[in-house]
Structure 1
Amino acid sequence: MQNIANITSPWTDENIIDLVRKVRNDLIKDFLDERFLKDYIANKYGMKELTAVKIEFIKRDLKEFLIAPVNTDHYKTIVDLIRETNSASLSEGNDELFYSEVDQILKKYIYQ
């Protein structure tokens, strides 16, 4: 008889980080679309216009962020949740973690 205790979760730390990276990078790619970026800034920060230079700097930083490693401390709650539930579903409250990293980049140029 096979020992059921030997069956392990398909969610390794590497798989979880890859999932977080994919979600984060998909969001970053949305922000690289200038229309999405301008709409988000107008709605979130009430700014109707940003200079072309600021937009280019934001896009440059977003591209650098795209290749940056995942901040595991920042996403600890998601990583722990996936480990505990053995499920990759991300609840609605977790999207704020992804947006908060992008917002840090935006604030650097919005409040200058």
Structure 2
Amino acid sequence: MEQIGSITASVQTAAYNEIVDVLRHNRNDIIKDFLDERNIRSYYADRYHLNDVESPKVIAIRDELKLMLDTPLDLEHYSILVDQIKQAGVSVHHVDINPDLFFKEIQKIFLKYMF
């Protein structure tokens, strides 16, 4: 009986790790898009109506985004989504993930350099 519990825990851990890996991959894909200076400037123009972002700010944003690529996923930020995927009992590859949650995490960096 104990062995079945151990196997179940291992399967749950593997599923959880897969969810986190897929979310991190999706987040990193969005971050990589923003490593292009044009996308940073376009985001500021579209989202905040700021058409002239200074080059030193763009460089600082890119540097922070590069650092974010190497950081683990903020599990607190994504906890609700992880729980929803786990409760749905489907593979994370079959879930349509709204990118807004990724943008909210990245937006923290953009807001930091608003002025």
Pick the TM interval, shorter chain. Answer: 0.7 to 0.9
Residues 78 and 90 in structure 1, CA contact (< 8 A), matched pair in contact too: no
Match for residue 102 of structure 1?
106
Paired amino acid for 2:55 = A
Percent same amino acid at aligned positions?
Answer: 35
Q: How many residues of Structure 1 are paired with residues of Structure 2 in the alignment? A: 104
Q: Supply the RMSD in Å over aligned alpha carbons.
A: 1.9
Match for residue 3 of structure 1?
none
Unaligned runs of 5+ in 1: 1-5
Distance 1:35 1:17 in 2: 29
Residues 11 and 83 in structure 1, CA contact (< 8 A), matched pair in contact too: no
Match for residue 3 of structure 2?
none
Distance 2:91 2:107 in 1: 27
Match for residue 57 of structure 1?
60
TM-score (norm 1): 0.84
Select 2:21's aligned residue among 18, 22, 27. Answer: 18
SS at match of 2:77: coil
TM-score (norm 2): 0.81
What stretches of structure 1 move > 6 A for 4+ residues in a row?
Answer: none
